[in-house]
Amino acid sequence: MEQKRRSILKAITWRITGTIDTFLIAWLITGKPGVALTLSSVEVVTKMFLYYLHERTWTRISFGRNKPEKDNYVI
């Protein structure tokens, strides 16, 4: 199971990437870097929070995980 710190760090690094993407797209569409900065500033907070909740939910779901194998040592 992943630690909460790992989930937080993953959320932060992913949001940096996503926010740069949002900023560039908004700037290209509007032609206004100020508007792009405003949009990317708002979405960085909301999406980081949503990603963290999503990540923590998936740590509780066993679908697609391999069960840990028990050691078969005979003493």
* pLDDT surpasses 70 at 74: no
Total domain count, the chain = 1
Distance of CA 72 to the CA centre of its chain: 37
Taken as a whole, the chain contains a residue count of 75
Answer yes or no: is 68 within a domain. Answer: no
Single pTM value for the model:
0.58
Answer yes or no: is 72 within a domain. Answer: no
* pLDDT surpasses 70 at 71: no
Residue-wise pLDDT for 13-62, tens only, equals 888 898 999 999 999 999 999 999 999 999 888 887 888 899 899 999 98
Max Cα-Cα span within the chain? 72
Please give, one letter per residue, the 3-state secondary structure of the chain: CCCHHHHHHHHHHHHHHHHHHHHHHHHHHHCCHHHHHHHHHHHHHHHHHHHHHHHHHHHCCCCCCCCCCCCCCCC
Answer yes or no: is 52 within a domain. Answer: yes
* pLDDT surpasses 90 at 2: no
Answer yes or no: is 13 within a domain. Answer: yes
What CA–CA distance (Å, rounded) separates 8 from 57?
Answer: 13
Please report which confidence band the pLDDT of residue 72 belongs to, taking 50, 70 and 90 as the band edges: low
